[in-house]
Amino acid sequence: MFRSPESLAIALSWLYGVYIAFKCVAVVMHLGFAGDIGDWKEADFALWTDVETLVGKADTLILVDSLLAVAAGVTTLVWFWRVRINAEAFAPREHRYSPVWRSAVGSSRSPAG
């Protein structure tokens, strides 16, 4: 059954764009963290509340990064799956991999064929 992968492709474009923008913001924030830690090292002193604040911000960055990565990964797998199903509809039994290998993990990552 043919299903257009266009909507998934648009969603992937947006997800990748948001993820890249987030990564840029995360790099800038990590540079700020490095500056704070450098200041603490120079002063040979850091308040526990400052350390907790920095760790909390880092935890938030990790959480958002993980959620965006999982969302992009799952959407990519669904897109690969749909494109593979569509390719089977256009040319049945002419593909290298059996239907078991339709997933993105199998067909695009497997060295065996």
pLDDT (tens digit, 9 = 90+) per residue, 24-55?
Answer: 999 999 999 889 888 888 888 888 888 899 88
The answer to whether 82 and 8 are in contact (CB under 8 A) is: yes
* pTM summary value: 0.72
pLDDT at 18 over 90: yes
Task: Report pLDDT for 113.
Answer: 44
Q: Which amino acid is at 41?
A: K
Kindly report, residue by residue over 56-101, the tens digit of the pLDDT: 999 999 999 999 999 999 999 989 888 888 877 777 776 665 554 4
pLDDT at residue 9 in the model: 92
Q: What share of the chain is helix, strand, coil (3-state, %, to 5)?
A: 80, 0, 20
From residue 44, how far is each of 14, 41, 56 by CA, in Å? Answer: 44, 5, 22
Buried residues in 52-86 as b, exposed as e (16+ CB within 10 A): eebeeeeeebeeeeeebeeebeebbebbbbbbbee
Is 70 in contact with 42 (CB distance < 8 Å)?
no
Ramachandran category for residue 44: left, alpha or beta (phi over 0 → left; psi -120 to 50 → alpha):
left
Other C-beta atoms within 10 Å of 38: how many? Answer: 10
Is 4 a residue whose pLDDT tops 90? Answer: no
Other CB atoms within 10 A of residue 15 CB: 19
pLDDT at 105 over 90: no
